[in-house]
Structure 1
């Protein structure tokens, strides 16, 4: 009887202690992720207007769920996406291309997703070449253009009426040397010093976090001498650099790689490769010069029918193809 009394007394004292103890206010849900502002973007740039960069695509890694964005790309036509070789080789088997994207956190109804069928790396690119000829093409299943899905143009501008490599091929296109007139190429590498271009993407921001919406910045292409002095170990034969020399502290960063530097007239001037560090006044962003790779690019995108390139591959798991320069 005494043991029962002592047990009841202990329970009573314990209940009193618990009831009178202070209660900690512990949140039951995580705080929402901070939303981007005009000062936390593509480093020094601005938030893009929805639909103002219809050539831009998001390249994602399907090894994870949901697949995270990690690189950008540029629409060339209804089949081809231009990006960097480093973006493709980093996740060759697990790529997803999302067109018409603006806000990575929301489905807005404009998005189209495509899994690449083929990746084509520039034949002069190697892992040890750092960033020289850092270019790649992704062949994706046919997609239609729309309000937020439009191609950018090569130098010089394509004839839009005959540039669409879609299902409506004609004998006339094949008679013109395999569609050679669809893609006129420059005779030599162009000096684009002083030309202004727009870079856009979802890359790392000032807070070292990726942006959820498209950011953009206007940059000016610098002289080859300035680029070479900033990056003495890089072969600038196929490269150029761009920066905002007026304000400084503006530029692309990790996550923007593969995105195109687009002129005011809609031409692709270059492909963003890297910067070390990002948005530095002394070390401008490095871009692949489009005029240095356009002969190679055009030899592929003017192919009579892009799907026939699949027959050229030897590794059907990766669908990776490196055509020779001959």
Structure 2
């Protein structure tokens, strides 16, 4: 349970009246021009994704600028909740936009939906000093409907780590329906070395030319030991590493923080946190292991009604954004 220190009365009425046609924020045109991204943002050495192939992916933008620039990614969990990193939330101006159904940022293709977060909830074990450990947060947004390019990713299925071979872990059994969750899993770190996942986001190519469309890269989860060896000063309790073990020089970078590492059958394996330098053979990307934080995610999105969370409030780890879209 989360302690209450702040009340959002207007947000309650907003959420209760939110339906498929929830209002879209109109950003004033009087704000300063957005800063341009640097050369080291987003996926390095990736490929252009097929339109609609990453429907779980969202763009998180900073609305203090016009037009609001993309600076983090996120993953759709259901019609109200977005999974991202705590560092994306705490390093921002708290004036955020979440854009769903985005593919080409230079065009309005008719699939996009824009929402202003009502609340963010940071993992209780995250600290500003640990930087990467438990670096996850949940964003509560007004209701949105699914569509051709807007679909949730799935939480990890329940399985016994000792009785399943690696290759079977994400193929055995029937996958749960979209929007349903496997919450009854052990809150412990699974060693899923060798599982391949997809990371996607918006950014630059190898030639450092800006890309307005979704880029993607296929990465392999490394062993816990090799991850700790690459980052000996980091607490790896909640973390794992992923890299391109075939060719090297491929990986996510700062602008992709918050994006999900998604298995071939649509399960969230991890949440991208950090890499330094990006796409390095020596220093793989660091991800929060989904198996460690999934119980916490479920405790929020499954057992707390959105309106109750807004009517209640919380300790310092839950941040309010705006009480309305006025």
Q: Scaled by the length of structure 1, what TM-score is found? A: 0.77
Q: Answer whether contact 1:41 1:211 (CA < 8 A) is retained.
A: no
Give CA-to-partner distance per residue, 1:110-132, whole Å, 9 cap, x none: 00000000100001101111100
Shift of 1:186: 3.1
Aligned residues: 264
RCO comparison, higher one (Cα < 8 Å, 6+): 2
Is 1:284 the equivalent of 2:284? Answer: yes
State the 4+ residue runs in structure 1 displaced beyond 4 angstroms: 207-210, 314-318
**In structure 1, how many angstroms separate the alpha carbons of the residues matched to 2:58 and 2:99?**
6
Give CA-to-partner distance per residue, 1:170-216, whole Å, 9 cap, x none: xxxxxxxxxxx863333522111000000000134434465211000
Q: Secondary structure at the match of 1:70?
A: strand
5+ unaligned residues in a row in structure 1: which ranges?
Answer: 1-39, 164-180, 321-326
**In structure 2, how many angstroms separate the alpha carbons of the residues matched to 1:286 and 1:137?**
19
Q: Answer whether contact 1:162 1:182 (CA < 8 A) is retained.
A: no
**In structure 1, how many angstroms separate the alpha carbons of the residues matched to 2:309 and 2:290?**
23
1:1-326 matches, within 5 Å, as 42-156=43-157, 159-160=176-177, 163=180, 183-208=183-208, 210-313=210-313, 318-319=319-320
Taking a change above 3 Å as real, the CA distance of residues 209 and 117 of structure 1, as seen in their structure-2 partners, is farther
Q: Secondary structure at the match of 1:71?
A: strand
Shift of 1:314: 5.3
- The RMSD of aligned alpha carbons is 2.2
**In structure 2, how many angstroms separate the alpha carbons of the residues matched to 1:182 and 1:280?**
34
Q: Answer whether contact 1:182 1:302 (CA < 8 A) is retained.
A: no
**In structure 1, how many angstroms separate the alpha carbons of the residues matched to 2:66 and 2:142?**
22
Q: Scaled by the length of structure 2, what TM-score is found? A: 0.77
Give CA-to-partner distance per residue, 1:30-78, whole Å, 9 cap, x none: xxxxxxxxxx982111000000000000000001001000000000000
Taking a change above 3 Å as real, the CA distance of residues 53 and 311 of structure 1, as seen in their structure-2 partners, is same
**In structure 1, how many angstroms separate the alpha carbons of the residues matched to 2:90 and 2:219?**
27
- Considering fraction of residues, name the structure with more helix: 1
**In structure 1, how many angstroms separate the alpha carbons of the residues matched to 2:215 and 2:197?**
14
**In structure 1, how many angstroms separate the alpha carbons of the residues matched to 2:227 and 2:126?**
20
**In structure 2, how many angstroms separate the alpha carbons of the residues matched to 1:203 and 1:125?**
27
Q: Secondary structure at the match of 1:214?
A: strand
Q: Secondary structure at the match of 1:310?
A: helix
Q: Answer whether contact 1:155 1:186 (CA < 8 A) is retained.
A: no
